[in-house]
Structure 1
Amino acid sequence: MAPENVNIISWWEEQSFPGKDLFKLDEDGTVTLTPTALVKEREIAVVTIDNAETVLKNLQEKFEEMQSRVREAEIEWMAATDKSKMADKIEQLKGLINSTVAIGDFEKAAQLVNDWESSIKKASDENVAAKKALAELAESLADSTEYKETSQAFKDITEKWRLSGFLDKSRNDMLWKRIENARKKFQDRKRDFHDEEEKDLLVTLDLKIEIAELAESLQNSEEWKSATEAYHELTERWKSTGRTIHKRNEELWQRIMTAKNIFFDRKKAHFAQIQVEQEANLIIKLELAEKAEALANSTDWSATATAMGALKEQWRNTGRVPHEKADELNKRFNDSVETFFDARRKHTEAIRVTQEQNYALKSELLQRAEEIKDSNRWGETTVEMNRLFDEWKTIGPVPREHNTTIWDAFMGARKHFFQRKDADRDQRKQQFDAQKAAREEQDIAYKKEREAQEIASRKTRIEQAHKTIEAAHTEIKEEEEKLADFKNAIENITPGKKAEELRTHLAALIEESTKHLDRLKKKVVTVTEDMNKIIEKEQQKEKEEANAEQAAS
């Protein structure tokens, strides 16, 4: 063994530092980190008697740099409420510990990181078990016939899922898909059940309404014999018709009995209509039928509905026409009225269909945003996120019941990505600054980073407030239009047996719409006040910073 090496070995034996038992010095001056269960073996340096002190000091300083990264992570670990979210950072620290060329107590640092990793795995296993139990519960409810209770159970499952802990995206999406599939299966069965039940009741209701209308249409008949036979036939048809909504059943039966009594009272006191009056009525109704035919294909829905209502009112107020002309004339007039109102109903349904299509398109954009929100390919994902947002703005409105939910979910995915991107950029900047600056400079950089995050947070809250106000104004406009339609409808109710019922229904709708409109306006005021407070704080902060800069200069 050369004298120089003998001196190196002696020098090494005299050294004392934390973790020395993890290293060995070979005869050729090679310092090696020996492997343990947590630390990988690797060559650290080759030293000579001339550079040994300098190399050891440099390697210890490098270890201290790595150790500071571990201490920072330890502080973040202690503050984290959901430690599962630190999985990526823990994995990076493991790589750092097993790649750093330095001298120090690697085993202690590795053991600390290993303990964190074990805790994360335990929490992840618990989260998997909890979410799997929710998925199994959802699947067990898919075939339930207790529709009301099961609907609430699915809402409870969704809330428990929201409150459950963090889980990696792959397993999280797989378990959530099981819940969604079970929910869809249940909702499809529930919808089919209610559709069939309501369909049966409505079919019977239509039949009984038809009987009531036929009875009412006969109450002024001059065909005494045939009308008498018709009333007997309608009574038998009523008896053979199935059940319907109880309240409507009583109402319709009363209508039939009223019409029947009117007819038989008139039969006893029969008098002839004056032919001249019938001919005059014929001229009036011919004019009304022509006006109705001229409006039948109009698409000015509100104005035409009012005009049609006025024509129907005049029609009802006009007396009988010659018997041989009545059916043909009634058909002309009623066909025109039904043509218009059928077209208006289809127009309304088309709007709903378009909104459902928009909902499907936005759901696809949301799904894609969810798929890429955890991507680390910052550049191309930023481009795609902005493209998704631009495409979202080109799509029209969705059904009101989905509008807020799908928007919040989409913006949540978008903000999640950009927050991760910002965090990644900030982390890389912090690491770069940490390598070039002293610990005092690191503290200053950390403080500035915190201030930047607070500013970004305030700006985000302002943006969210603007969007909330904008959405509320849109909903206010829609609600005001709907309220105007209700008021217009109640002002133009056609007198008749259903007038009071329709007036009561419209009054209830107006009251509900007015209350909802007030809530929306109060919401706008509240959000605006909160936003102005944030802006005032921001302006005050900027003013203080400007004064500080001026004072410093």
Structure 2
Amino acid sequence: MSSDPWGRVDETGTVYVRTADGEKVVGSWQAGTPEEALAYFERKYEGLVVEIGLLERRVKTTDLSAKDAQQAIDHLRQQVDEHHAVGDLEALAKRLDALVESVDKRREERKVQRAKQSDEARHAKEALVNEAEELAQSEQWRAAGERLRALVDTWKGLPRLDRKSDDELWHRFSHARSAFSKRRKAHFASLDAQREEARKTKERLVAEAESLSGSTDWGVTAARYRELMAEWKAAGRAQRESEDDLWNRFRGAQDIFFAARSGVFAERDAEQAENLALKEELAAEAEKLVPVTDLKAARATFRSINERWEAVGHVPRDARPKVEGRMHAVERALQESEETEWRRTNPEARARAAGLTGQLQAAVDKLRGQIDTARAAGNNARADKLAKELEGRQALLDQALKGLEEFGG
């Protein structure tokens, strides 16, 4: 018979293992010596030790699932419980128990982690849904569309929730995207209709602009082109493929007209510059008549100058007030000379002036006599009052005498 601390082989070749519950039959060995039998079953024990050690490392260092770990533990426990090895089977059972505890702990940790991840995923998806529902009302079509596509990608990267919660949130998310797409489609359909209407309007404006390009009615046509430009701006944009072509035609028609008008205006400006030089010479000639010494000769000369003035064409608008003002000044000087001459040679006016002067002189003489009388009587207050009245009458008399002088004294 052969034995070691954990097992023995009896005379019949039966192999036993020692346990806390007593000896257990491991198996029967008939092929060799008892030592060989023990060695064989001890190797089986070492194999179990190695497998348990490997499983312990996998549980500790890898992401082995709790289910797979438990299956591996159950498989090893079955081998330990069947006592087909010689060694400290109780120690192996304890190691397996410890592994069960580790796996259970990991299961709980993962359960908590999954709950946390699920909660985070729920909050993340709710945030995505809320943002999508806000974007559904946006009119920033490109930016909002791109953001919604990014939200879909983010959604796909999040873990699923329980089916009911996930389906409810997805339904809201999908509904928001559909609502935005529907609004965007309606917007662009309306925009297309507006652009088509703008194209038709601009076709009409282009046709009119081209029909006016040969006009020589410069003022009216230029004003109409300004109106057409205002209508063009108010019409809005047509489709991109039409807008540029229509604008080139519209602008080209205007360019033809305004280029022709500029050529005509350049010739006119040159002619008016020559006219201005002529009128400035005539104004200088007229200004030599002032001051007037011979009214009859000055009037005849001015008429001659004025006839030549009228024969000269238009001058530049900004220069007109100044040069015409010079002629008007000479004309006013002639009129003032005529009025002065008329007053000087009018006998009725002279008689009226002489009569008025005589009356004023008599009044002044009378006031002076009254003042002398009042002072002689010692009535200075009356004398001062009459003196003030005398000042006014004397001023009127001086003016009358000056007017009478204009009639030749």
Q: TM-score, normalised by structure 2?
A: 0.31
Greater relative contact order (Cα < 8 A, sep 6+): 2
Rg comparison, structure with higher value: 2
TM-score between both structures, scaled by the size of structure 1 = 0.24
